[in-house]
């Protein structure tokens, strides 16, 4: 009897997870690549953002300086690297290329690391009858000397 109860609960949890995953995929929002390294002398790179949902997707792109302090990650606002465009408005099944440009005048010594934050923003809804998942992608970006 206990085995039947466990199996039923496991099936219910799995079914719920599949239903939620289906909703997330339907409003697909992906970023590639998942890590960026710019070699010596390089000042820019690109990132691709793709919307695979049927409706309009809004997003924003921000760059933060990424430091480790006492074993903790710290993200600090910066203007040393800029993203273009910083705001996204995508229709279903659209790709946008984001340029990431190092604007700092000082040369890179060793390694400078940043996090590119790509946020999916809530957009207008025709119906208000469900939970919507907003995604944040945090992509490491390192410039090396």
For 35-97, give the DSSP string: -EEE-TT--EEEEEEEE-SSS-EEEEEEEEEEEEETTEEEEEE-SSEEEESSEEEE-TTEEEE
Cα(8)–Cα(24) distance, integer angstroms: 25
DSSP 16: H
Give me the chain's average pLDDT, please.
82
Cα(57)–Cα(134) distance, integer angstroms: 10
Q: pLDDT per position in the chain (145 positions), as tens?
A: 555 445 445 444 444 443 444 333 335 789 999 999 999 989 999 999 998 877 888 899 999 999 998 999 999 999 999 999 999 999 888 999 999 999 999 999 999 999 999 999 876 665 566 676 678 999 999 999 8
Q: What is the pLDDT of residues 86-96, one digit of tens each?
A: 999 998 889 99
Domains of the chain: 29-144 (2.60.40.10)
Instruction: Give the pLDDT of residue 56.
Output: 85
Contacts with 87 (C-beta within 8 Å, 6 or more apart), sequence order: 58, 59, 60, 61
Instruction: Give the pLDDT of residue 63.
Output: 98
């Amino acid at each position: 009897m206990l085995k039947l109860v466990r199996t039923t609960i496991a099936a219910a949890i799995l079914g719920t997870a599949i239903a939620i995953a289906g909703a997330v995929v339907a409003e697909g929002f992906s970023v590639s690549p998942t890590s960026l390294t710019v070699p010596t002398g390089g000042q820019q790179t690109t990132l691709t953002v793709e919307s695979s949902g049927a409706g309009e997707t809004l997003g924003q792109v921000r760059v933060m300086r990424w430091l480790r302090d006492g074993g903790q990650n710290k993200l600090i606002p910066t203007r040393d690297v800029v993203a273009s465009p910083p705001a996204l408005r995508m229709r279903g099944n659209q790709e946008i290329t984001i340029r990431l440009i190092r604007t700092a005048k000082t040369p890179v010594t060793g390694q400078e690391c940043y996090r590119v934050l790509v946020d999916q923003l809530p957009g207008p809804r025709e119906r208000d009858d469900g939970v919507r998942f907003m995604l944040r992608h945090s992509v490491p970006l390192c410039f090396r000397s």
